[in-house]
């Protein structure tokens, strides 16, 4: 008899949570952090590359980021990518260095950041639902090929749904905590 592996399903779904947490780490409230820019990709040398692969990011002060771009031909592209990101930052170029002052957050900006966090949460939920769909389809194929019974298929689908509900609740809890952090500071 072929059985689904709930540990493997949880592991795959937990990767969506880890990715979501990484996305949220870029949403800083009040303090500058080099991880704020992790979500920004630069079109360099014919590829989309993370900003930390073409530059050094430092935090000399609590509300200041310095991005030292290694290749001077990429400075303007990097500056444009930072400006157009959903982070709402206003970079200033000085040679090969891009200065980014992190402004104190207004109430409107805090609400905007919570919307970005909610978008990241929805992307994580979509990833989890896709994993659920793949596993349910596999279970149905097994039943169709008479490798498992109808009852086993039903039990497996319920187990997959329970795991999905648990992971979705975790994502919602993480989002709720991040929203509180954003709105309180």
The whole-number pLDDT of residue 166 equals: 94
Q: pTM (2 decimals)?
A: 0.68
Residue 94: which H helix or E strand, with range? strand 91-94
pLDDT at 30: 64
Query: Which residues contact residue 48 at a Cβ distance below 8 angstroms, ignoring those fewer than 6 apart?
Result: 41, 42
pLDDT value at residue 185: 62
162, HSE (Cβ side, Cα atoms, 13 Å)? 8
- Tell me how far CA of residue 150 lies from CA of 3, 76, 94, 142, 145, in angstroms: 13, 60, 67, 10, 11
Q: What is the mean pLDDT of each run of 10 residues along the chain (185 residues)?
A: 77 91 75 78 86 88 87 89 83 90 79 89 94 92 89 92 94 92 77
Residue identified by tokens 């930052």 is 89
Question: What is the set of domains in the chain, with CATH numbers?
Answer: 6-23+106-184 (1.10.132.20), 30-101 (3.30.1360.40)
Answer whether 67's CB lies under 8 Å from 100's CB.
yes
Cα 138–Cα 142–Cα 148 angle in degrees, nearest 5: 130
Please answer whether residues 14 and 163 qualify as being in contact, where contact means their C-beta atoms are separated by less than 8 angstroms.
Answer: no
Query: Looking at residue 28, what is its pLDDT?
Result: 63
Alpha-carbon span 7 to 11, nearest angstrom:
6
pLDDT of residue 157: 92
């Amino acid at each position: 008899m072929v059985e689904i592996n709930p540990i493997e399903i949880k592991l795959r779904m937990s990767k969506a949570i880890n990715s979501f947490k990484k996305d949220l780490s870029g949403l800083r409230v009040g303090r500058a952090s080099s991880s704020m820019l992790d979500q920004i990709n630069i079109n360099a040398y014919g590829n989309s590359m993370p900003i930390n692969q073409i530059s050094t990011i430092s935090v000399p002060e609590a509300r200041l980021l310095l991005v030292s771009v290694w290749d001077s031909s990429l400075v303007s592209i990097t500056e444009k990518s930072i400006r157009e990101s959903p982070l709402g930052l206003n970079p200033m170029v000085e040679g090969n260095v891009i200065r980014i002052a992190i402004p104190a957050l207004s109430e409107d900006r805090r609400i905007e950041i919570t919307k970005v966090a909610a978008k990241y949460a929805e992307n994580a939920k979509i990833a989890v639902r896709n994993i659920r769909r793949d596993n349910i389809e596999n279970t149905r194929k097994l039943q169709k090929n008479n490798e498992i019974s109808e009852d086993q298929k039903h039990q497996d689908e319920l187990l997959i749904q329970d795991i999905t509900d648990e992971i979705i609740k975790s994502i919602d809890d993480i989002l709720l905590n991040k929203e509180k952090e954003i709105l309180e500071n």
